[in-house]
Amino acid sequence: MGDAANIIVGTAGKAYRAEVGATFPTGPEEPWGADFSDMGFITPDGLEEALEEERTQLDAWGEDAPVVDLARKRTQTFKLVFRETNAFNLSLYYQVKLASMTSTAAATPKKQFLSFGSGSVTDTVEVALGLDVIMSGKRHRIMIARCGVSDREAVKHSSEESSNFGMTFTALAAPGGAQSVQHMITEVTLPVEPEPDPG
């Protein structure tokens, strides 16, 4: 029988970024470490997570169904639309490393400003990404050890909407053979598997 308590509606969420190799929290309700920076407000569309697989099926003589089904490649993507114009989002959207940006201090009457050139294809920006999906006490935490931006929405500058940065992150192989993506979800129980029949 179904249990409505198991339904998660992401009423709020946060995204955090850090340098690849940063240490993730060990639990879904622990605070993010000093290495992680809040990426700012996200549009109400929330997080769109997708998992795609490329598979190879092997047939056998006389069999009417495949005898082997192999996963060749698994691609996980995470799409978010950020409302804030900050250095972290600009770096990822334009593929410019923070170290390649210049901040010019304010000097009355001139305002402080950030300047950078368009990123080159060799100036790849990769980050560790932390995502929290939150609903009335429940939390689904997703930790991506290494990822890059694989798709970008057009930025619209108008009087009717904020200048948003829509980005799709693709999980990449993690350093040192670690798990590329790790999930932690509160209040989800693990069922007890029945013991195999020894007879």
Domain containing 137 equals 9-54+68-185
Who's near 4: CB < 8 A, 6+ residues apart? none
Q: State residue 151's pLDDT score.
A: 96
Q: Give the pLDDT confidence score for residue 119 in this predicted structure.
A: 66
- 60 assigned to some structural domain: no
CATH number of 162's domain:
2.30.110
**What element of type H or E holds 27?**
none
Whether 198 maps to a domain, the answer reads no
Tell me the pLDDT band of 89, cut-offs 50, 70 and 90: very high
The confidence score (pLDDT) of residue 3 equals: 84
Residues 7-34: what's their mean pLDDT?
94
Whether 138 maps to a domain, the answer reads yes
Confidence of residue 9 (pLDDT cuts 50, 70, 90): confident
Q: Name which of 78, 71, 67, 91 is nearest 10 in CA terms.
A: 78
Nearest of 148, 130, 151, 149 to residue 140 by alpha carbon: 130
Task: Give the number of domains in the chain.
Answer: 1
Structural domain includes residue 82: yes
Looking at residue 113, its amino acid is: F
* Confidence class for position 159, pLDDT limits 50, 70, 90: very high
Per residue in 96-153, pLDDT (tens digit) is 999 999 999 999 999 999 999 986 777 789 999 999 999 888 999 999 999 999 999 9
CA 87 to the chain's CA centroid: 18
Is 157 among the domain residues? yes
More confident residue, 74 or 144: 144
